[in-house]
Structure 1
Amino acid sequence: MFTKDELKSMSRKELEKLLADVQKALVTVKARDHREARKAAAKVVAEYGFSLDDISEPASSQPQKTKAKKKAPKKPSKPVFANPEDRSQTWTGKGRQPNWYRDQVAQGTAPDTMRITS
């Protein structure tokens, strides 16, 4: 067991090696726990005269997973504002304000004058 001070004094390579060793040990312990749990379950099932295969349900009797409904793709919003200096630059009025819009407002242009009329 390492103390916090010991861990702090270790180099990056030493810590990475320790981490790899711990991950390997976890895999080993998990496999061992799985084997022990399976043995314990088999023992309990055997007391009732069954095997683990006998009590496991076939895949066909398991409830079917329902498919998630696919969402329709969102339609892009129509532009509401256009840059008076370059009409190809537009903004929907949603989200972050584009730089050209902020610059125009800072120069005193009223937002309504940049509004696109249909």
Structure 2
Amino acid sequence: MTVDLDAMSLKELRDLRNKLDRAISTFEDRRKREALAAVESAAREFGFNLAELTAARPARSKVAAKYANPQDPSATWTGRGRKPRWVQEALDSGKKLEDLEI
């Protein structure tokens, strides 16, 4: 199918664009429905339904802070992950981690 865009009027070009937009949207919707059907089928093969597999997992509970900055008690650390600068500075100055415990 060859379309001579140069020979078309502005109205014809806009109509063509609208038809293309609708065709693309319809195509994408159809592909999404096909993908969803395939995923649901795969879930059934494993004995699940899609809702079971996509249900939100419970969020991890927050870990309580174990250490606080003596100069700024609002600055806390749980003891997990990288040490904050204030913890490292306290350790470098001769304090022990136990000295910073809450």
TM-score of the aligned structures, taking structure 2 as reference length: 0.53
Structure 1 unaligned regions, length at least 5: 63-118
1:50 partner letter? F
Which position in structure 1 is the counterpart of 2:23?
25
1:47 — aligned with what? 45
Q: Whole-Å Cα distance in 2 between the matches of residues 31 and 13 of structure 1?
A: 27
Partner residue in 1 for 2:8: 10
CA–CA distance in structure 2, aligned partners of residues 8 and 32 of structure 1: 32
Distance 1:53 1:8, change over 3 A: same
**Counterpart amino acid of residue 49 in structure 2:** S
Three-state SS of the structure 1 residue aligned to 2:36 is: helix
CA distance in 1, matches of 2:33, 2:47: 21
Q: Which amino acid aligns with 1:52?
A: L
Write the letter of the residue equivalent to 2:22.
Answer: K
Cα drift, residue 59 of structure 1: 6.4
Distance 1:9 1:32, change over 3 A: same
- How many residue pairs get matched? 60
Matches within 5 A, 1:1-118: 1-3=1-3, 6-58=4-56, 60-61=58-59
Q: Identical aligned pairs, as a percentage? A: 32
List runs of 5+ in structure 2 lacking aligned partners: 61-102
Q: Give the SS at the match of 2:47.
A: coil
Please state how far the C-alpha of 1:28 moved relative to its aligned partner.
Answer: 1.0
When the two structures are superposed, what TM-score results if normalisation uses the length of structure 1?
0.46
Deviation at 1:26, TM superposition (A): 1.2
User: CA, structure 1 residues 60+8, in 2 after alignment: closer, same or farther (shift >3 Å)?
Assistant: farther
- Larger-Rg structure: 1
